[in-house]
């Protein structure tokens, strides 16, 4: 068991959850002079499961500050386009951006953390606090003590459940179907129309988007990359409940793991794509063997700090993915936390109060922004309405609204 902080040793933090928020918090707090250990419930490293991630300036800043090498970060794109049902481009927006994969980011950030401080197979069960610090207990019997505990345990956070049990994910009324296609498996016509771009197809109440990401082994060469394909579709809550049942009749609460999505649902989305999507997006889906769906939720915790426990990333708040800000917000939360905790002469409680003061409002803005952009999926359209593709392209691109005051 580790000892509490004393004046001759650095402060110690426990970080729970080794996905994006946890990796950034560990790397940045170590740089700020803390002793940090990161605990993940998964028994195996998390790579191999993620799809596309859009980068923003906030994310690039946090990567650089963490010491990650961002030279080969992802695929550089220059513009956003919207196509109509016949693949004619109906809107364009110049917007240079790097798009990448969750796996690539995980690889870069994981490399910043020494293995002796990265602990797999550690499922946090309870947290206790005293005047001098926190004690974390794990289901494998491990007990750890520290000056601070950082909850980076995602949108179903058990740590948030301890302190804010009323804050629960709220279903948005739609799901995303998604998958990745190998560049080489896409027909040339689809590649020519959408591959090097952030592309949209925007029929009423639906949003189909796609962008290129690195391929296997993070390959960036032409021909070896992949295309991240996403279809937002409204699904009422009752229907969602039936979709969360797997082939064996087992019900999965909130979300279902990709391999467990039923074949009849996959067949149905493929049929719908044949009728409803333009050739580029339709043919890209044909190249994806097993698309899967994720219900969209958001939530906002009105508090991020509970004594010596701080919530960051999705544990604190989740904005719907239209703004592509989940990872950037997690990284910026971690960055702010490390900033306020850098000076060892400042009391931890005082530093945490400043962190909460700075980041709560940003989380709320992300949630509100996601709701505004997602509103399009559930609004009533008459058949003659053409909605403003320019507005959607522009507003899903910018992260300016997240700037700290
Ligand atoms: C494997 C994986 C792949 C992903 N792929 C994508 C993607 O392709 N595109 C995208 O937009 N988003 C993806 N996400 C989500 C994305 O990482 C988050 O939305 C965002 O980055 C904020 O991350 P987070 O670290 O706050 O939460 P999360 O990414 O949800 O991570 C929470 C972590 O905490 C761990 N954890 C939970 N409870 C406990 C516990 N009791 N004890 C110990 N550990 C615990 C979880 O196993 C998980 O690793 C993925 C998440 C994961 C875990």
265-287 pLDDT per residue, tens: 999 999 999 999 999 999 999 99
Q: Edge-to-edge strands of the sheet including 309-311?
A: 118-119, 35-39, 12-16, 148-151, 309-311, 305-306
Residue 55 in contact with ligand 1 by CB distance below 6 A: no
Residue 175 sits in the same domain as residue 160 = no
Pocket test for ligand 1, best of 48, 153, 291, 331 (most atoms within 8 A of CB): 153
Same domain? For 232 and 279 the reply is: yes
Q: Looking at ligand 1, which residue's alpha carbon is closest to its atom 45?
A: 17
Could you give the angle at which helices 57-66 and 326-340 cross, rounded to 10 degrees?
Answer: 50
- On the CB side of 285, CA atoms within 13 Å amount to 24
Residue 364, domain member (yes or no): yes
Cα torsion angle, 171, 363, 62, 45, sign: negative
pLDDT at 1: 36
Same domain, 328 and 291: no
- What's the structural domain count of the chain? 2
* Residue 21 resides in a domain: yes
Q: Which of 279, 296, 313 is the last residue of a domain?
A: 296
**What pLDDT is attached to residue 178?**
96
Question: Is 351 a pocket residue for ligand 1 (Cβ < 6 Å)?
Answer: no
pLDDT at 404: 54
- What pLDDT is attached to residue 2? 39
What's residue 248's pLDDT?
Answer: 97
Is the residue at 70 inside a domain? no
22 lines ligand 1 (CB under 6 A): yes
Whether residue 69 is contained in a domain is answered as no
Instruction: Assess if residue 247 is contained within a domain.
Output: yes
Let me know whether 304 and 360 are in one domain: yes
On whether residue 230 sits in a domain, the answer given is yes
| Angle 245-211-96 from CA coordinates, rounded to 5° | 145
Closest approach atom of ligand 1 to CA 122: 43
H runs (alpha helix) in 32-100 = 57-66
Q: Is residue 54 part of a domain?
A: no
Ligand 1 atom with the shortest distance to the CA of 327:
21
Structural domain containing residue 44: 12-49+104-169+299-371
Distance in angstroms between the alpha carbons of the first and the last residue of the chain: 41
The finding on whether 326 has its CB within 6 A of some atom of ligand 1 is yes
- The two tokens of residue 363 are 């989380």
Among 296, 236, 231, residue whose Cα is nearest residue 266 = 231
Domain final residue, candidates 296, 320, 354: 296
Which residues of the chain are under the pLDDT cut of 70? 1-8, 381-387, 401-405
End-of-domain residue from the set 296, 319, 343: 296
**Based on the domain organization, do 283 and 322 belong to the same domain?**
no
**What's the CATH code of the domain at 133?**
3.50.50.60
Q: What are 83-133's pLDDT values in tens digits?
A: 999 999 999 999 999 999 999 999 999 999 999 999 999 999 999 999 889
Stretch (H or E) spanning 82: strand 75-83
**What Rg, from alpha-carbon coordinates, does the chain have?**
22
Q: Which atom of ligand 1 is nearest to the CA of 138?
A: 42
What is the predicted pLDDT for the residue at 269? Answer: 98
Q: Are residues 246 and 143 in the same domain?
A: no
Task: Classify each residue of 368-402 as buried b or exposed e, where b means 16 or more C-beta atoms within 10 Å of its C-beta.
Answer: ebbeebbebbeeeeeeeeeeebeebbeebbebeeb
The finding on whether 330 has its CB within 6 A of some atom of ligand 1 is yes
Q: Are residues 160 and 136 in the same domain?
A: yes
**What is the model's pLDDT at position 384?**
46
Same domain, 176 and 228: yes
Q: Do residue 42 and residue 188 come from a single domain?
A: no
358 lines ligand 1 (CB under 6 A): no
Q: Would you say the CB of residue 102 lies under 6 angstroms from ligand 1?
A: yes
Is 111 within a domain? yes
| Same domain for 217 and 82 | yes
Identify the CATH number of the domain in which residue 269 sits.
Answer: 3.30.9.60
Nearest to 155 by CA among 20, 274, 26: 20
Please list the helix, strand and coil fractions of the chain in percent, rounded to the nearest 5, in that order: 35, 25, 35
Output the DSSP codes for 323-337. G--HHHHHHHHHHHH
Distance from C-alpha of 15 to C-alpha of 27, rounded to nearest angstrom: 11
Whether residue 264 is found in the same domain as residue 363:
no
Same domain, 126 and 160: yes
């Amino acid at each position: 068991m580790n000892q509490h902080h004393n004046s001759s040793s650095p402060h110690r933090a426990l970080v729970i959850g080794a996905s994006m928020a946890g990796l950034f918090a560990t790397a940045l707090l170590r740089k700020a002079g803390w002793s940090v250990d990161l605990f993940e419930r998964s028994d195996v490293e998390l790579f191999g499961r993620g799809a596309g991630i859009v980068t923003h300036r906030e994310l690039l800043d946090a990567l650089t500050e963490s010491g990650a090498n961002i030279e080969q970060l992802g695929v550089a794109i220059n513009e956003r386009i919207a196509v109509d049902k016949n693949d004619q481009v109906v809107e364009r927006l110049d917007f240079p951006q790097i798009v990448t994969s969750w796996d690539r980011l995980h690889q870069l950030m994981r490399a910043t953390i020494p293995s002796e401080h990265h602990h797999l197979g550690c499922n946090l069960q309870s947290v206790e606090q005293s005047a001098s610090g926190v004690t974390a207990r794990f289901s494998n019997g491990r007990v750890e003590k520290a000056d601070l505990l950082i909850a980076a345990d995602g949108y179903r956070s058990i740590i948030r459940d301890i302190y804010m049990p009323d804050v629960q994910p709220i279903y948005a009324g739609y799901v995303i179907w998604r998958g990745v296609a190998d560049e080489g498996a896409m027909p040339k016509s689809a590649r020519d129309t959408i591959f090097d771009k952030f592309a949209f197809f925007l029929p009423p109440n639906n949003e189909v988007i796609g962008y290129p990401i690195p391929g296997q082994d993070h390959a960036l060469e032409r021909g070896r990359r992949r295309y991240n394909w996403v279809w937002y579709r409204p699904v009422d809550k009752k229907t969602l409940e039936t979709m969360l049942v797997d082939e064996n009749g087992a019900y999965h609460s909130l979300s279902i793991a990709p391999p467990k999505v039923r074949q009849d649902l996959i067949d149905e989305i493929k049929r719908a794509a044949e009728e409803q999507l333009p050739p580029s997006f339709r043919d890209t889906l044909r190249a994806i063997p097993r698309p899967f769906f994720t219900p969209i939720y958001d939530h906002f915790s009105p508090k991020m700090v509970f004594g010596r426990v701080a919530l960051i990333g999705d544990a604190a708040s989740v904005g719907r993915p239209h703004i592509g800000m989940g990872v950037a917000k997690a990284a910026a939360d971690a960055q702010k936390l490390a900033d306020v905790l850098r000076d060892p002469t400042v009391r931890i409680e005082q530093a945490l109060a400043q962190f909460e003061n700075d980041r709560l409002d940003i989380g709320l803005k992300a949630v509100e922004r996601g709701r505004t952009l997602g509103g399009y999926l559930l609004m009533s359209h008459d058949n003659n309405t053409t909605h403003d593709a320019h507005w959607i392209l522009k507003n899903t691109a910018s992260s300016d609204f997240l700037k700290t005051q």
